[in-house]
Amino acid sequence: MPSLIVLSHFQVAPILDAKRAGKSSVTASTDLGLSTAEVTLHPQYVAFPGGERLGWEGFEEIAAAENACFYVENGTAKRIQGFSEFTGRFYSLMPTAAAPTMLVSGISMHRIRDTDPWRDTLSKIQAIAPIVGRVLDTATGLGYTAIEAAQTAEQVVTIELDPMVLEIARFNPWSQALFDNPRIKQIVGDSFQEIKPFEPESFSRIIHDPPTLSLAGELYSLEFYQQAFRVLKRNGRMFHYIGDPESKSGASVTKGVVRRLNGASFRRIVIKPEAFGVVAHK
């Protein structure tokens, strides 16, 4: 996909401020904060590098939508969202002051309280550092985990259940390395099934960041953990995101997860409260 202009209320605010100040140009981001460029302000519209334009009414619409991201196409601002007939879930890209997150039927895919989606991802990666060898990422999402793991891994194999999630990711500037990095291999399918054909001891690290227990109970099952143990190399590590261990529900889920990981023969399970998960060692 060619580079798109992707904006949220964070990016349009300085452009609207420049308009009110009577300026003819301003430096702003056109890719959700990843970089900046000079845009030109005209009485009826803003001209972006590359020739794309957007009228001021489009900027007002974006500024009023605090939970939405937009791409600009043919002079129109369009929300980055979609409904999946496969899962019956509605997905949308939600901005933060840093990397955006994805809303899954209104629920944030990342932690955003006292952190941001990219720092949330880094905490998971750091929990099983160093990232070496082949890595299995069981839930692609916006691809942040796969992208960061691929910085040092030989290869990252990442699995996503819902094709609509990947369509949303294609519009996210922060996700582009997911599609460009040759060390990342994508699989579309159910991790519960897709893990079964992998050869024994074929991964040095596993990053398991499934949906909630109520949405994907099979990914918290003893059978899945036994498969994870099988494909993990000796002395390998698996990070398992669970949720806030200090919450009542998080503590309950953690207890069950630890019990089943032990049942799957993992030799040591360490709770990582800063990453909202546990690390299981083989």
For residue 214, being part of any structural domain is answered with yes
The mean pLDDT value for 220-236 works out to 98
pLDDT of 45: 97
Q: How many domains does the chain have?
A: 2
**Whether residue 69 is found in the same domain as residue 115:** no
For residue 90, being part of any structural domain is answered with no
Distance CA 111, CA 134 (A): 26
**Whether residue 71 is found in the same domain as residue 15:** yes
For residue 87, being part of any structural domain is answered with no
Residues in a beta bridge with 38: 27
Q: What is the pLDDT of residues 185-217, one digit of tens each?
A: 999 999 999 999 999 999 999 999 998 887 888
Domain edge (last residue) among 61, 79, 97: 79
**Whether residue 40 is found in the same domain as residue 144:** no
**Whether residue 255 is found in the same domain as residue 160:** yes
Considering only CA atoms, which of 185, 188, 280, 191 is closest in space to residue 241?
280
Examine the pLDDT at 73 and tell me if it is beyond 80: yes
Distance CA 228, CA 203 (A): 9
Q: What is the pLDDT of residues 242-282, one digit of tens each?
A: 988 778 777 889 999 999 999 999 999 999 999 999 999 99
**Whether residue 138 is found in the same domain as residue 13:** no
Which string of DSSP letters, residue by residue, matches 111-165? --TTS-HHHHHHHHHHHT-S--SEEEES--TTSHHHHHHTTT-SEEEEEES-HHH
What does R_g of the chain's alpha carbons equal in angstroms? 21
The mean pLDDT value for 5-9 works out to 98
**Whether residue 113 is found in the same domain as residue 71:** no
Distance CA 225, CA 223 (A): 5
pLDDT of 6: 98
CB atoms within 10 A of CB 178: 25
Distance CA 110, CA 282 (A): 27
SS3 180: helix
Cβ contact 267:282 at 8 Å = yes
Domain edge (last residue) among 63, 79, 95: 79
Cβ contact 145:207 at 8 Å = yes
For residue 84, being part of any structural domain is answered with no
For residue 270, being part of any structural domain is answered with yes
Residues in a beta bridge with 6: 31, 71
**Global confidence as pTM:** 0.94
Boundaries of domain holding 145 = 109-281
**Whether residue 220 is found in the same domain as residue 144:** yes
Domain edge (last residue) among 79, 101, 127: 79
Which string of DSSP letters, residue by residue, matches 192-242? HHHTTTSPTT-EEEEEE----TTT-GGGGSHHHHHHHHHHEEEEEEEEEE-
**Whether residue 64 is found in the same domain as residue 191:** no
Q: What is the pLDDT of residues 12-67, one digit of tens each?
A: 999 999 999 999 999 999 999 999 999 999 999 999 998 999 999 999 999 999 99
Examine the pLDDT at 75 and tell me if it is beyond 50: yes
For residue 95, being part of any structural domain is answered with no
Q: What is the pLDDT of residues 79-138, one digit of tens each?
A: 999 999 999 999 999 999 999 999 998 888 888 888 899 999 999 999 999 999 999 999
pLDDT of 215: 80
Least confident of 71-80, 123-132, 170-179, 236-245: 236-245
Burial class (CB in 10 A: 0-12, 13-18, 19+), 144: buried
> CATH number of the domain that 186 lies in?
3.40.50.150
**Whether residue 185 is found in the same domain as residue 275:** yes
For residue 219, being part of any structural domain is answered with yes
**Whether residue 123 is found in the same domain as residue 69:** no
| CA dist 39 → 12, 145, 228 (Å) | 11, 32, 49
For residue 99, being part of any structural domain is answered with no
pLDDT of 1: 46
Residue pointed to by tokens 């990397």: 99
Distance CA 256, CA 217 (A): 12
For residue 146 the two structure tokens come to 């796969």
